[in-house]
Chain A
Amino acid sequence: MSEAARLELDRLSKSFADHVAVRDVSLNVAPGELIVLLGPSGCGKTTTLRMIAGFLAATSGDIRINGESILNLPPYRRNMGIVFQSYALFPHLSVVRNIGFGLEMQRAPSPAIEARVSEMLRLVKLEALSARLPRELSGGQQQRVALARALAIHPKLLLLDEPLSNLDASLRADMAREIRLLQRSRGITTIMVTHDQDEAMAMADRLVVMHDGQVQQIDRQEDLYERPANPFVARFIGRSNLMTGRLDCGKMLALDAGAPIALAGRYRGRGRASLAVRPESIRLMPPGAPGVLVTGQVELCTYLGAVVEHVVRIAPELAIVVRANGIGTDAATRHPVGTAVALLWTQSDECLFDAEDRPVAADRIHVR
Chain B
Amino acid sequence: MTKAVSHQTLARLERLGLSAFVWIGIVLIGVPLLLTVYLSVFDEKLIVFPPRGYTLSWYLAIGPVFGASALISLQLALASVVGSLLLGVPAGIGLSRYRFRGVGAISTLLLAPLTVPDIVLGLGTYVLLVQMDEQLGSAITGSLAGLILSHIMITTPWVVRLCLAGLVNHDRAAEEAAASLGARPWMVIWRVTLPAMRQGIIAAGLFVFISSFENLGLALFLTSPGVTTLPISIFQYLEYHIDPMVAAVAVAQMAGVCALLLVLNRFMRLSQIVR
Please indicate the chain B residues that have their CB under 8 angstroms from the CB of A82 in the complex: 176-177, 180
Bound Cα distance A86, B177 (Å): 11
Binding site for B on A (CB under 8 A): 53-55, 74-82, 84-86, 88-92, 101-102, 105-106, 146, 149-150, 153
CB neighbours (8 Å) of B177 from chain A are 82, 84, 88-90, 146, 149
A86:B178 contact, CB within 8 angstroms: no
Q: CA separation between A75 and B185, bound complex, in Å?
A: 10
For residue B173, which residues in chain A have a CB less than 8 angstroms away from its CB?
A: 84-86, 88
Closest to B173 in A: A88
User: Shortest beta-carbon distance, B67 to chain A, in Å?
Assistant: 41
Q: Is the CB of B198 within 8 A of A92?
A: yes
Cβ distance B190 to chain A, nearest Cβ, rounded Å: 11
Known: A86-B171, A90-B192. A106 touches B182 (CB 8 A): yes
Chain A residues with CB under 8 A of B184: 76
A-B complex: 3 closest residue pairs judged by Cβ atoms:
A102-B181, A88-B173, A105-B182
**Docked pose: A51 CA to B187 CA in angstroms:** 22
CB <8 Å contact, B181 and A91: no
> In the assembly, what is the distance between CA of A136 and CA of B98, in Å?
32
CA distance in complex: A149, B173 (Å): 14
Q: List 27 A-B contacts (CB under 8 A).
A: A53-B176, A53-B180, A55-B176, A55-B179, A75-B176, A75-B180, A76-B181, A76-B183, A76-B185, A79-B182, A81-B180, A82-B176, A84-B176, A84-B177, A88-B171, A90-B174, A90-B178, A91-B174, A92-B195, A92-B196, A101-B178, A102-B182, A105-B181, A146-B177, A149-B177, A150-B180, A153-B182
The answer to whether A89 and B174 touch across the interface, beta carbons within 8 angstroms, is yes
Name the interface size band of chain B.
10 to 19
In the complex, which of the residues B176, B183, B185 contacts A105, with contact meaning CB atoms closer than 8 Å? B183
Residue of A53, A101, A153 ringed by the most chain B CB atoms within 10 A: A101
A76 to B195, CA, bound (A): 20
B181 neighbours in A (Cβ, 8 Å): 76, 101-102, 105, 149, 153
Residues of B within 8 A of A105 (CB): 178, 181-183, 187
- Specify which chain A residues have a CB less than 8 angstroms from the CB of B182 in the assembled complex: 76-77, 79, 102, 105-106, 153
CA distance A48 to B260 in the complex (A): 51
- Name the distance in Å between B257's Cβ and chain A's nearest Cβ: 28
With both chains docked as a complex, state the minimum distance between the C-beta of A50 and any C-beta of chain B, in angstroms. 9
In the assembled complex, how far is the CB of residue A98 from the closest CB belonging to chain B, in whole angstroms?
Answer: 9
- Whose C-beta in chain B lies nearest to the C-beta of A77? B182
Residue on B nearest A89 in the bound complex, by CB: B174
Known interface pairs A76-B181, A88-B177, A105-B187; 15 further A-B residue pairs with C-beta atoms within 8 A, sorted by A's residue number: A54-B179, A55-B176, A75-B179, A75-B180, A76-B183, A76-B184, A82-B180, A84-B176, A90-B191, A91-B196, A101-B183, A101-B191, A105-B183, A106-B182, A146-B177
List, in ascending order, chain B residues with CB within 8 A of A53's CB. Answer: 176, 180
Give the distance in Å from the alpha carbon of A77 to the alpha carbon of B181 in the complex.
Answer: 9
Complex Cα spacing A19 to B183, Å = 32
Q: Which of B180, B182, B184, B192 has the most CB of A within 10 A?
A: B180
> How far is the CB of B29 from the nearest CB of chain A, in Å?
34
| Contact digits for B157-193, partner A, Cβ 8 Å, 1 yes 0 no | 0000000000000010110111111111101000110
User: Chain A residue with minimal CB distance to B192?
Assistant: A90
Bound-state CA distance A81–B176 (Å) is: 11
> From B187, which residue of chain A is reached at the shortest CB distance?
A105
Q: Chain B contacts of A91 at CB under 8 A? A: 174, 196
Residues of A within 8 A of B196 (CB): 91-92
| Minimum distance in angstroms from A243 CB to a CB of chain B | 42
The residue in chain A whose Cβ has the minimal distance to the Cβ of B198 is: A92
Among B173, B183, B184, the most chain A Cβ lie within 10 Å of the Cβ of B173
Instruction: Report B203-250 residues with CB < 8 Å from chain A CB.
Output: none
Which chain B positions have C-beta within 8 A of A75? Answer: 176, 179-180
Enumerate chain B residues within 8 angstroms of A78, measured Cβ to Cβ: 180
- B172 to chain A: closest residue by CB: A88
Contacts of B187 on A, CB cut-off 8 Å?
105
Q: Which residue of A lies closest to B177 (CB)?
A: A88
Task: Say how far A155's CB is from chain B's closest CB, in angstroms.
Answer: 8
Chain A CB within 10 A, most for which of B177, B191, B192, B196: B177
Residues on B with beta carbons closer than 8 Å to the beta carbon of A79: 182
Could you say which residues of chain B place their CB within 8 Å of the CB of A146? Answer: 177
Q: Which of A75, A89, A91 has the most CB of B within 10 A?
A: A75
Taken together as a complex, chains A and B put the C-alpha atoms of A89 and B175 apart, in Å, by 10
CB distance from B47 to the nearest CB of A (A): 51
Q: Which chain A residue has the least Cβ–Cβ distance from B179?
A: A75
Instruction: A70 to B129: give the CA distance in the assembly, Å.
Output: 54
Residues of the A chain whose Cβ atoms lie less than 8 Å from the Cβ of B179: 54-55, 74-76
Complex Cα distance, B171 from A82, in Å, reads: 15
Complex Cα distance, B178 from A217, in Å, reads 33
Task: Determine the distance from Cα of A84 to Cα of B177 in the docked complex, in whole angstroms.
Answer: 8
- Chain B residues with Cβ below 8 Å from A149 are 177, 181
Q: In the complex, how many angstroms separate the beta carbon of A148 from the nearest chain B beta carbon?
A: 12
A108 to chain B, nearest CB (A): 10
A75 and B198 alpha carbons, distance in the complex (Å): 26
Return the chain B residue nearest A155 by Cβ.
B180
Which residues on the A side are within 8 Å of B178 (C-beta)? 90, 101, 105
Q: Which residues of B contact A102 (CB under 8 A)?
A: 181-182
Q: How far in angstroms is the closest Cβ of chain B from A153?
A: 6
Chain B residues within an 8 Å CB radius of A153: 181-182
- Residues of chain B within 8 A (CB-CB) of A90 are 174, 177-178, 191-192, 195
